[in-house]
Structure 1
Amino acid sequence: MSNDTILQPIAFCLASDNAAVRERLAAHPFWVLEFPEDLKRRLRETQSRISGRALEESTPPHVVLNQAARLLIPDLISITSRITDSGVQPWLYGFVDQERPEEPPIESVLLRAMLNAWLRTVFRPLFPSPALMDLLQQVQTLPLVWRREEIDLCYWSQAPNGTARPYREIDQHCIQNGFVLMPDLVAARLAALELGNAQTRYFRFKRAPLAPGRRGCELVSWPPQRESQGTRTWYWSIVITVTLQTVPFQSYPQLHLNLSVRRWVSQPLRYTPAETISAYLLDSLPWLAADQQRQCFQVASLVRCSRKVRERASEETGPVLGYCWNDELVELLNELHWAERLPDPQQLTQEPSAWLERALTGRSPQAALAFRTGMRPDHGEGVGFSLSDRRFMVEQIAELLAPDFVLRSPLERYGTRRFIVHPPNPFFPQEKPDRGQPAQTRACAERRRAVAEALGERQTLTIIVRYQTATALQAVRLALCEVLGYPLESSEGTIWTTPELRLAVRSEPLGEMGRALGIKERSRGWAAEHWRLKIQERAEAIAQTLPEAADPCGVIIELPDADFFRQDGDPKAALRLGFARKGYLTQFLTPPTSDREGEASQDSLQERARSAVRDLLRQCGVLGAPPRLLLKARVQKPPFQIPEPLHYLAAWLIHRNRRGSETHLPQYLPIVVYLRSDSHLVLVRAPGFEDWLPYREAALQLARMEQARQRDHEAVRQFLLKTLHTLLPTRGETILFCDACNLRQSWPWLGNERITSSLPPELERFPQLRIVRIRTVSPEVPEWYAFDPKRQARGKDPYALSQGLFRDATNPTVFYSVQEKPPSAKNQVKSSSKLSHRPRKLAQTSEGERLPFDDPQGMAWNPRIVELTIARQSHEQRPDDVLMCAAVAHELRARIAVQFGAPTILPLPLHLAHRLEEYTLPLRPAELRPWQGAEEAAEESSEAGDDENED
């Protein structure tokens, strides 16, 4: 890759220096509606009086109200979450229809009807009838009035650190919020876009409301595209998500456009791993006249029923699960006499193509269910857009948005690997020697040496294979041979001794401990508690059959995926807990089940077995080599110096919500991981640990923490600062890695408007410390494409994928890391396209250039940008520190992890911290406030269907 390559973020900036643009955008109109503070106060007072709890602890449930707003109110830009909290305003933003600029999204009388229905639905079981009647009467006198406001989109202030603040606060309420309203302006223009040309398909877009609490606008191409292969048909759409973002120390905001594929459920649905499915509905609203109907989607959620509606004897299709609309939402709609207008859930899930075909033929109503990875049957459409598609769409969008918005300036590439020697990873050597050759033997010896370094001297590593099929057992034994050189002819349980390591391998059938948990049908109120009880019973039964592990011991367990267990209870969490209680680490091996793998299933199983062995070694704290980065000896004047030794710290908050936890309990647990550049040792500290523990012991200790921890941001911050204040005085040059999205709620200094290029005040006393703040989450970091100006000047195709460290010359402490594509994407062709209708055989030009060609099933992979913001002391004494920290963070993402032969999203210390989350499986809830706990659970559940887009 040429060092002349530059990176073009898919980010637009307002041309605010253009006088005509400033005049045109000085008064952008929008509708705003506030939730009456009097009603909030009455609700909290009534709730406090009835429950006997303090007024400040009362949080009236609001989630179903926002769900109803998302479904029933057209033309919404944004819905504020936790709207019943005191002072949280405004509730709704609506966009102004230019054809009806004086008509708000919905009349006040209809809003009152919706609020009445919400009160009767949610509070009838909680409040006595007189109190509820008083509230219903109060609603009739509430000032529910939309206000038509205007915002100067060319105005923004700056935070003390120089970061743009694209919003205004009026009476301590953020009313004129550019984060919400500038994307609305862009979405209004994109809704009129017909994307495409003579060589491609054509796409038109409709707006869809985002989930409560999410900022930005979403546009979905409609009608959907239809693809067929044999007798099967699939449907998909383009999704453009527009958000306004800021960059640390950058004085202006920028619009990020994320381009993704939304695949629609196209075959009768047999299984979904998610609790909810987002349904996109396009229908006329009964309270609007025919000439007032809006052409935007409404969104509601389907949930899995607690029982199976029927069983099919056919092994080909398997059991069919039942689905229904969210119970509280349906109850609210019944109060409005509108529930009968919702499509039948079983028809939607079992005849999805019939509803999608309505869109292609122009019939109404129309509906589509968002497909998510893991659903069965699988989807035939490939995910992601290729480089050619991405560039084509950006160029058309840029033309539409000009002259008001322009693409931001490109990022310059900085080739750090010209100066840095990367430590070789023996688990993934760059060369691929033949089996049995000396090089392979040396690689196995290096791996065994790395394992011994992690476990300590005179330790024996025991690996137990708990198998269900002889094929899986043989695959694991062969993987141990390939990875560690373990002789296949070794007898069962024999300790294999080498100069580097003592290794024992045993195998046993998994037996009854691997059967489903046998979850019975329970009411929704205590189903999660019943699930935890079953996990606890199985874990205790497993632990009783095991001896205490005397030496480091790991277990590779052959277990089908969650689809196999369906509603009967996946035993994975129970297996992990049961083995951990006796000191055993666990790694699961899932046999291939997809029909698409076909003849490659044996190769797939073998690769999974190798991955299982390597990941088990990662759990043991194994590093392929010390994370030591050196400057090349031949470099005469290196641009920076790397201290030796260099200490690495990673601060991470284990934050698992109910939906993402196998035990259906949230967990909020801070941890700190410590490495140093001249050592294989990985240490971990967490609340409840008496001291720093080796990585392996820390994983087991986390699994033994049965009590969930309550969310307490200040406690998290204090733990991190106390740990740093205790450790740093005894350490030399140190880099602390933090993920902004993961930790900024607990440590506000990590936010864009508070971060500084110097250390925060509480850490100023440690001049040897540098902090690297990382952002990886879309849409906070932009998508991108790369091009080479020299190739462009020669008339050749300049566009390509790229890798390396990039920077904005005007922002010296912010860098952008892009790693190479993984081996799994090596066959990706940049000219494959989901937009083009050109056959592949006609894609080659006479000059040898390849034009975009039709390839809807092709998978497109685009490396993610990782933003790096550096903070340090002694700017004058160490001017090269910023570049050194960025280069180290970039290189610690390269192929350095034991279990991945590809770059990781996070630098190694953060990656290791993140992976410890799999061992947090609490069985007893924290002492949460009951009202707050129930509301948070509902809010998390309501957002389950918001991540359907696949890049």
Structure 2
Amino acid sequence: MYHTIRVTAYEPDPLHGPWREEMKVLRLGEKLHTELTKMQAEAHTGAVRPDRLPVRRLNSLLQAMAPGVLATGRNAGTDGRLPWLYAREAVPREVLGPVIGTWSAGLSPDEDDTEGADLETRIRSGDPAEAVQLPQWEAESIDLTETVTSAGGTAEPAARLYSLLPEWVAFRLAARTFHTGSMVLHFRVESSGNAARLVSWPPQRYERRGQTWYYSACLNITVHTVPFAPRFRVHVSTQVRRWATRLDVPPYQLGGATVLLDVPLPWPGGPDRGHRLMANTLGYDRRLKELAWRRHSPAPLMPELDVVGNYPQPAELFARPEHWINGSGDVAAGIVYHPSIGPHEVGPGLMPQERAALDAWVEEGLRPMLTRVPDLTRVTRRNTPSLLPAGRDREVRDTQLVLQRRAALARALNGRLLEVDVYWQSPETRAALLTELPKLIGLPPGERVGAADGDTWEWRCEGIGIRVRLQAAGPLADAMPISRDRKRPKADRLAEAVEERCRLVADRKGMCSEETGLVITEIADKDRFAAVPDSDPKHALRIAWARQGRLSQFMNLPDGDEGGLEHRAKWTWLDAFRQLGAIAPPAHRVGAGIPGDLQYVALWLIQRTRKGPMRRAVRQLVAVRIRPGDGPGDIEGWDAERTEWVSYPKLLLLLSQAEEPAEKSAAGCSDDAAADRHGPRTTPRSGMEHHWQRDTERQIRALLFQLRDRPTLLLADAGNLRQCWPALRNGELERDMLGFGTESAQRHTLYGDDLRVVLVRDSNARGEVPEWYAHDTKGKVGFAEGVWGTPEVESRVFASTASKPHTVAKLPKGLMKLAPTAQGRTAPGKTAWNPGQLEITVLCCLSEKALVDSGREGDVPDRPAEWATLAHQLRYHDDYPPLARPLPLHLARLAGQYVLPVARTKEGRKPPSTP
């Protein structure tokens, strides 16, 4: 058993002091910014923000083509006085001029516009005598460890370090080579917003099935904060980046693939030659009806800068990706692989030993400015709750599990008959569902009833009654016909198709019992509907059944694997039980410090952008409560409109009715709504955004006052909730305090004498929580599960790690994919997966100070480690592999499957039935 884990995170070394670097800084200047903004406004008269320059493409171009440029400053497109470019040395005017000039040509509304053409000529020339001159570089000494400490004790880096420091670290590491086995890897830098990546280049090769497959090592570098930590951190995560050698999809199905260009600099001399890869996006343009460079890609500007180079055209790159990854002349291009474009013989992920080797290489390269974050040690040996023993007697355990499921279902039904309609397409699925149901809950053989008017089966046992009616799905599971009228919004065209499917379901309802509570529908995999966007009927059927007051579950068509079919049938029923509320957390094994009548409450923000399943933006706060041992209604949801707790199934049906006016929900629902995820509290984008934020906070406060009747553990995912509750940002947190709106934070006991608040956070697709591996004093590395922390008694931040998945249980921990040995030639084909770390922050508990402040000096104070252990144990359940989050949060998040706002059609629609 490992007793220590190591996280791949680094922090400023206090023994080194400030880390100062001499840089060159460039600002656009007010005059040039004004002229460029004027051109932008004239070229795009309908632009929402004519005062904002579209500098993203220019930034990408400069980072790739201007030697020495490190990073770009934020908001330079809105204010010419702000720093725009950071470089290790001034970029020559003969280099900067053509790059800015080529970009500015795209701002001109007309080729005959003499003013725009004249500006382009002047920028390109760089002539000091011209009226508008290029900006001058300024020298500046920048501290790459510049920090401000919040009132709660959280160290926050200067805002510009979120983009600047990852670039500096990446170039520092790229200057070195990584030796692994007999291989030597060279790295290039890829810029990505507030992050930087190191990509080994050229890619490595793996011969398999008569074809060459390409892959690289990839290191993601980001800057983050940790609640109450005295220093900010640099996270370095590792992965395998796979490259496409063929695309098994038609061009019109390519939504947006990342393409990295390896191009020579058109200008001699300067630093960083050969260290950059230029990021672009390749996708199908439905307006042009052809493949094109998309999303501010700088690739279209390259021929303007280098008329000699041979650069790939989108259609050619799509047709011959392997040709371009090997290079044509001095230019090479790699399409980053995604599962949607076909199979790949190289497996994702790295095993612990290889990750540890890369981590050691990074640590060496960052000395002495940055030092490794201290290792974490176990805080408890009680890693799991009271789960059924996984001993040798599997039959006994299975029997106990069956009884446990049946008792949970009986509590959820509370004497009601459960009626299930199954709409099937294949006899195999029909048979599997009928077989797995009685096995899961230990029912006697079912009785076939009502053969004259359908295929119906019934089971009754110990207070449970289940009736299953089976019918052919027919046109219910067909692809939805979507109007091709491009002049109408996608949401409106989709809404019409949804309403038509709802009418079809309503017609079928006449064949079903009025008491049916659940519908299982067999449909094809979503990939089968990819040819026609929005034609997948799954969400429409969920809406249709919810309007009839029924929950819904789906199962895909068989894939030829009989064992897999049984497994999927089992999980279909388990997911159905979960929707019925027939699930409860096992009894914890934390200790006497946890109140016996504790209730769990989880908050989750459901968000849908205009790219969501219904093409409408909406946000919905969901609250789920679990009161273990309270009998029927153990799991409930908060009905904000009626201000009452309702059963979990009823919550799901109510959420299916949730709608916001488009003008309200659209505010702040863009894809970059969480861009400022660590910095100080910012002003909302608009008055509507501000109103929504305040309204959500009022809902949370009202909810807290409804929970004062008993001890409560409030669980929230900080990465999910901080958009509507800004006080959950790391820089705003204070121990045992809760803040709302612009008011000062107050002690949490004002919201409940026995309230505790625990925040969890995962990597959130941005590396917010670092990767990890276990190690010991003998140099061995591997996996470990448990709760981990620092030696400080008053520490509030812990790490939760779960057991390794069974899919990698048999893989050797020392598997080397970047440098396969003679004994492991097939190692690159293996899939490696490491359990993620869940960060647990005990924000509010009854600490000694909290008790004194609330006049309860004589009470025994809480131990934060015990509440972190409780949150960790809530990730475990006998029926599931360890959950990504505690069970209450898991249930709140899955409730979002029913938040499917539909645009109103011209005819309107029938209001949904009251569940």
- What TM-score do the two structures reach when normalised by structure 1? 0.80
User: Which residues of 2 match residues 845-860 of structure 1 at below 5 A?
Assistant: 855-860=827-832
Matches within 5 A, 1:394-405: 394-405=359-370
Instruction: Tell me, yes or no, if structure 1 residue 234 matches structure 2 residue 213.
Output: yes
Asked whether 1:669 is paired with 2:637, we answer no
3-state SS in 1 of match to 2:829:
coil
Give the corresponding residue for 1:751: 729
Deviation for aligned residue 1:486: 4.5
Q: CA deviation at 1:295?
A: 3.8
Matched, 1:109 2:74: no
Matched, 1:715 2:692: yes
Partner of 2:258: 278
* Pair 1:725–1:191, CA change in 2 (3 A): same
Amino acid at match of 2:655: L
Structure 2 CA distance for aligned equivalents of residues 164 and 337 of structure 1: 43
Give the aligned residue type for 2:875: R
Partner residue of 2:245 out of 253, 266, 280? 266
Matched letter for residue 132 of structure 2: T
Deviations 1:6-57 (A, max 9, x none): 11111122333137xx5xx3234254445759857996999799999xxxx9
Whether 1:696 and 2:661 are equivalent positions in the alignment is no
CA distance in 2, matches of 1:715, 1:307: 35
Deviations 1:271-309 (A, max 9, x none): 6987211111112355x3587865411111112243998
Shift of 1:83: 5.7
Match of 1:453 among 396, 401, 411: 411
Cα gap change, 1:468 to 1:117, in 2 (>3 Å)? farther
Cα distance per residue 1:541-567 (max 9 Å; x no partner): 323432587446222222222221122
CA contact (8 A) 1:451 1:622 kept: yes
Is 1:205 aligned to 2:187, yes or no? yes
Q: Is contact 1:179-1:243 (8 Å) kept?
A: yes
Please state if 1:70 is matched with 2:23: no
Please state if 1:26 is matched with 2:20: yes
Pair 1:216-2:195 in alignment? yes
Question: 1:629 aligned to 2:600?
Answer: no
- For residue 337 of structure 2, what is the amino acid of its counterpart? F
Q: Match of 2:741?
A: none
Cα distance per residue 1:186-208 (max 9 Å; x no partner): 212211121124x2422100111
Match of 1:885 in 2: 867
User: Which one of 563, 571, 575 corresponds to residue 611 of structure 1?
Assistant: 571
The answer as to whether partners of 2:377 and 2:790 remain within 8 angstroms in 1 is yes
Q: Does 1:119 align with 2:83?
A: no
1:150-165 equivalences in 2 (<5 Å): 150-165=141-156
TM superposition shift of 1:497: 1.2
The percentage of aligned residue pairs carrying the same residue is 25
SS of the aligned residue for 1:251 comes to coil
* Aligned equivalents of 1:663, 1:338: Cα separation in 2: 44
Aligned to 2:702: 725
One-letter identity of the residue aligned with 1:266? T
Query: Using a 3 Å threshold, how does the CA distance of structure 1 residues 873 and 327 change in structure 2: closer, same or farther?
Result: closer
User: Does the Cα contact within 8 Å between 1:158 and 1:251 map onto a contact in 2?
Assistant: yes
1:516 aligns with 2:475: no
1:934 alignment partner in structure 2: none
Distance in 2 of aligned mates of 1:891 and 1:481: 29
Task: Pick closer, same or farther for the CA change 1:915–1:408 going to 2, 3 Å.
Answer: same
CA distance 1:447–1:165, change in 2 (3 Å): closer
Which residue, 254, 272, 291 being the options, matches 1:323? 291
- 1:923 maps to 902
Structure 1 residue 648 corresponds to structure 2 residue 600: yes
Distance (Å, rounded) in 2 between the aligned partners of 1:720 and 1:218: 37
Match of 2:761 in 1: 775
1:57-115 deviation line (CA, Å, top 9, x unaligned): 9523969641353246426544567765569954x44442xxxx332698453354255
Secondary structure at 1:678's aligned position in 2? Answer: coil
For residues 795 and 437 of structure 2, what CA distance do their matches in structure 1 show?
47
Counterpart-to-counterpart distance in 2, 1:543 and 1:681: 32
Q: Tell me, yes or no, if the aligned pair for 1:669 and 1:686 is still in contact at 8 Å.
A: no
CA separation of 1:219 and 1:866: change in aligned 2, threshold 3 A: same
> Which deviates further from its counterpart, 394-403 or 107-116?
107-116
Residues 541 and 64 of structure 1: is their aligned pair in 2 closer, same or farther, counting only changes over 3 Å? farther
Change (3 A) 1:463 1:476: same
Cα shift at 1:627: 5.0
* 1:658 is aligned to 2:638: no
Question: Does the 8 Å CA contact 1:163/1:246 hold for their aligned counterparts?
Answer: yes
**Is the 2:523–2:554 Cα contact (8 Å) retained in structure 1?**
yes
- Name the SS of the counterpart of 1:278 in structure 2: strand
2:99 and 2:305 in contact (8 A); partners too: no
In structure 2, C-alpha distance between the alignment counterparts of 1:131 and 1:667, rounded to whole Å: 44
Unpaired runs of at least 5, structure 1: 168-173, 310-321, 594-598, 632-637, 842-852, 927-951
Partner Cα separation in structure 2 for residue 870 and residue 208 of structure 1: 36
Name 1:870's counterpart in structure 2. 842
Shift, 1:433, TM fit? 6.1
Residue 131 of structure 1 deviates from its aligned partner by 11
**In the alignment, what sits opposite 2:913?**
none
* AA at the equivalent of 2:403: A
Structure 1 residue 245, shift from structure 2 partner: 1.9
What is the aligned partner in structure 1 of residue 775 from structure 2? 787
Which letter does structure 1 place at the counterpart of 2:401?
A: A
Residue 622 of structure 1: how far off its partner (Å): 1.9
- Structure 2 Cα separation of the partners of residues 673 and 493 of structure 1: 34
Aligned ranges 1:519-538 → 2 under 5 Å: 519=482, 521=484, 523=486, 526-538=489-501
Deviation at 1:643, TM superposition (A): 0.4
The one of 885, 907, 917 aligned to 2:886: 907
| Corresponding residue number in structure 1 for 2:276 | 296
CA distance 1:440–1:269, shift in 2 (3 Å): closer
Contact 2:280 2:298 in 1 (8 A): no
Partner in structure 1 of residue 428 of structure 2: 471
Distance 1:183 1:753 in 2: 20
Where 1:508 maps in the other structure, the secondary structure is: strand
* Structure 1 residues 47 and 387: CA distance shift in structure 2, 3 A: same
Q: Contact conserved, 1:774 with 1:869, CA < 8 A, in 2?
A: yes
**Cα 1:755/1:233, change in 2 over 3 Å:** same
Note closer, same or farther for the CA distance 1:438–1:872 as it changes in structure 2 (3 Å cut): closer
Matched, 1:821 2:804: yes
Query: Is 1:149 equivalent to 2:140 in the alignment?
Result: yes
Provide closer, same or farther for how the CA distance between residues 275 and 18 of structure 1 changes in structure 2, counting only shifts above 3 A: same
Which stretch has the larger CA shift, 331-340 or 288-297?
Answer: 331-340
Query: Distance between the aligned counterparts of 1:544 and 1:583, measured in 2?
Result: 15
1:243-262 to 2 correspondences below 5 Å: 243-262=222-241
Which residue matches 2:720? Answer: 742
Indicate if the aligned counterparts of 1:226 and 1:236 stay in contact, CA closer than 8 A: yes
CA contact (8 A) 1:108 1:144 kept: no
Distance in 2, Cα, partners of 1:870 & 1:14: 25
1:597-632 alpha-carbon deviations (Å, 9 max, x no partner): xx7x11112211111111121122221x3554245x
**CA distance 1:35–1:817, change in 2 (3 Å):** farther
1:346 aligned to which of 300, 315, 318: 315
Change in CA separation of 1:67 and 1:545 when aligned onto 2, cut-off 3 Å: farther
> How far, CA to CA, are the matches of 1:813 and 1:527 in structure 2?
47
Q: Quote how far apart the aligned CAs of 1:498 are.
A: 1.1
Q: How many residues align?
A: 835
Q: 1:402 to 1:118 in 2, by over 3 A?
A: same
Contact 1:48 1:58 in 2 (8 A): no
Q: Which structure 2 segments of 5+ residues have no match?
A: 124-130, 449-454, 669-688, 739-744, 852-859, 906-915
Deviation at 1:129, TM superposition (A): 8.7
